[in-house]
Amino acid sequence: MIKEEIEILLNEACKKAGIEDAEMKVSFSNLPDICDYQCNGCFALAKKVGKNPLDLAQSIVENLPKNKIVDVMAVKPAFINIKLTDSAFEKIANECLTAELGGLQKHEITKKIIMDYGGANVAKALHIGHLRSPIIGESLKRLYRLFGDEVISDVHLGDWGLQMGLTELQLKLDGVLDYYFSGKGKEPVITLEMLNEAYPKASARKSVDKEFLKDAEDITLKIQKKEEPYYTIYKKIREVSVTKIAEHYAELGATFDLWYGESDAADYIDRAVQIFVDKGLARESEGALIVDVAKEGEQIPIPKKNPDEPQRYKNPMPPAIIKKHNGADLYATTDIATILMRNETCKNVDEIQYIVDARQSQHFTQVFRCCKLAEISPEKQTLTHIGYGTMNGNDGKPFKTRSGDTIKLEDIINMLVEKASEKLKSNGVEFDRKLALQIGVGAMKFGDLSNNVAKDYVFDLDKFLAFEGKTGPYIQYTVARINSILRKVDTKAGGIKICDKDEKNIILAILKLLTAYEICYQDRSLNALCLASYDLAAAFSTFYNNHHIVNESDKTKQASYIALLMLVKKELSQALNVLGIELPEKM
């Protein structure tokens, strides 16, 4: 990487100037009109060796070994400004064009990671609260894999909770399940429509009808004990629901290696609970089984409603409940059992990451502490909750329908297709659902991922769908435009020649993009990659406006342009692939 090469040159210069083991670092310049990189390290180094900072900067520059990659200047107060030479730009451009990952270096030390994202709940319609997890999770997975990590993704469906009992009870009362209880008549076909009606109805009733809630809890327990016919009915409900969930995830471009749910850990629950009992970590409280996880003197941050609010704390962390008073399993129980299962079925897992709403942070703290206390998760394994912020409406409150209901994922997808189609229509493109979905989903993902994962953001589809500005469609459009030029010209790509500022800016934008991957990896957030992709698309756009690519009569020049176009396409395609954004051939 060029940055490291420059740093080596500077350190060699330090040595020549009589300073051993200097560790000079360079960064992209804050003044791109003046230089490409800058080094701010002379102040600290001068202090260390007792010299005047500007003198030191000058002597480093004078002692710089002869090289063809940089022109360097010491400037007041004591900075070193570094410009890449044209030949350095050319070398980088041509290397990136042929390198497998466009210049990105895989990590030397890689990890084995299980990623838990998706998390849709069976029997309930998917809603907006479940949108960020597959978007962010899928993208992080692709990023990790690009760097060489071994990643196993698990959708971890919510399929072992009270919603199962509620739905079955409602269907039973509606007379749908008579066959299973009386053995008479024909086996019913349980449909998605039935489920979409049953769950909300039951959920509303449980809040006002204690008897009903108790019955639903009893049925939930029977399902968890695999009692018939409850368990058979449960499996049918699960199947119908999962088919729909899979369709939604496919439309969002989220893919999973494992389609497990909470229920897959059911066989590990007894053993997991026993570990706590045997190690003396669990105690009974009001009939329930609980594990104390508070740490002495600690403060628990209360999730903020908005980022500007001062941080407040509560104390201490409440105990984790691992068995309910009636013996039923809870959310924490299945999560603990799942960690046990993951470690038994998959060896040497360095990290388990959960991409789940930030508002569940207490739950994960409890679960992680339980697993560490009971040594269900080995000491050297990292358990991470990557908590994401809320999608808000323009009013700054969680995004809802006009009537105040939570928005179903199905409706969001339809809305995306509709709005993208309108846009395309105004550009004279005929209705094409696949294309509209690519653009709509791409717009939404870019709008989402351009924000820091942990922050809340405003879900503004009109803004996300603009064809100009920092949006997914703008970048998709940039690549479509490159495709269109490449179709028009029959000149073959040649070596990239760097002759002007526009071309240099493209290469610099690529260098920044390559750095952005690493930033995203460290931050576990994709915003830097979104921004760098936009900057590259914008740099390309300037180049495109100032150059006549198709009509260029100098064939060597044109061949260089074509290669440059192919490079930009390659880099943008890789970045958008990490972001999970598809690239339409034409737009």
Query: Where on the chain is the footprint of ligand ARG (CB under 6 A)?
Result: 116, 119, 121, 156, 158, 335, 354, 356
CB of 356 to ligand ARG, least distance (A): 4
Phi, psi (deg, nearest 5) at residue 559: -60, -35
**Alpha carbons 511 and 6: distance in angstroms, whole number:** 14
Q: CB of residue 130 vs ligand ARG: minimum separation in angstroms?
A: 6
Least distance from C-beta 117 to ligand ARG, angstroms? 8
> H or E stretch including 74?
strand 70-75
Least separation in angstroms between CB 405 and ligand ARG: 17
Q: Which of 249, 385, 264, 401 is nearest to 329 (CA)?
A: 264
Q: In 92-191, at which residue ranges do the beta strands (DSSP E only) sit?
A: 112-116, 150-154
Least distance (Å) from ligand ARG to the CB of residue 114? 10
Kindly state the smallest distance separating residue 542's Cβ from ligand ARG, in Å: 44
Nearer Cβ to ligand ARG (119/165): 119
Could you tell me which residues come within 8 angstroms of residue 502 by beta carbon, excluding any fewer than 6 positions away?
539, 542, 543, 546, 547
**Dihedral, 121, 124, 126, 129 alpha carbons, nearest 10:** -70
Nearer to ligand ARG, 121 or 421 (CB): 121
70 versus 202: smaller Cβ distance to ligand ARG: 202
The CA dihedral of 353, 359, 362, 366, to the nearest 10 degrees, is -40
459-493: buried (b, 16+ CB within 10 Å) or exposed (e) per residue? Answer: bebeebbebeebbbbbbbbbbebbbeebeebebeb
Minimum Å distance from CB 307 to ligand ARG? 22
Select 336 or 516, whichever has its Cβ closest to ligand ARG. Answer: 336
SS3 for 56? helix
Closer residue to ligand ARG in complex, CB, 103/119: 119
Identity at 96, one-letter amino acid code: C
| Cβ-based nearer residue to ligand ARG, 36 or 264 | 264
Residue closer to ligand ARG, measured from CB, 156 or 222 = 156
Angstrom distance (rounded) from CA 572 to CA 533: 6
Closer residue to ligand ARG (CB): 139 or 533: 139
Strands 37-39 and 27-28, bridge-based pairing: antiparallel
Asked if residue 161 lies in contact with residue 331, where contact means CB atoms within 8 angstroms, the answer is yes
Give whichever of 356 and 493 is closer to ligand ARG, judged by the CB atom. Answer: 356
CB of 239 to ligand ARG, least distance (A): 18
Provide φ and ψ at 316, rounded to 5°.
Answer: -95, -175
In the bound complex, what is the minimum distance in angstroms from residue 156's beta carbon to ligand ARG?
5
- Using alpha carbons, list the distances in angstroms from residue 542 to 55, 470, 487, 503, 504: 39, 15, 21, 9, 12
H or E element at residue 572: helix 555-578
Return the number of the residue (265 or 565) whose C-beta is nearest ligand ARG: 265
Cβ neighbours of residue 480 closer than 8 Å, sequence gap 6 or more: 583, 584, 585, 586, 587
Please state the closest distance from residue 495 (CB atom) to ligand ARG, in A.
50
Residue (of 529, 537, 499, 487) closest to 512 by Cα position: 529
Helices first, then strands: H and E counts in the chain: 20, 15
Q: Quick check: 466 and 423 in contact, CB under 8 A?
A: no
**Angle at the Cα of 183 (from 180 to 188), degrees rounded to 5?**
50
- Minimum Å gap between C-beta 247 and ligand ARG is 18
| Cβ distance to ligand ARG smaller for residue 133 or 476 | 133
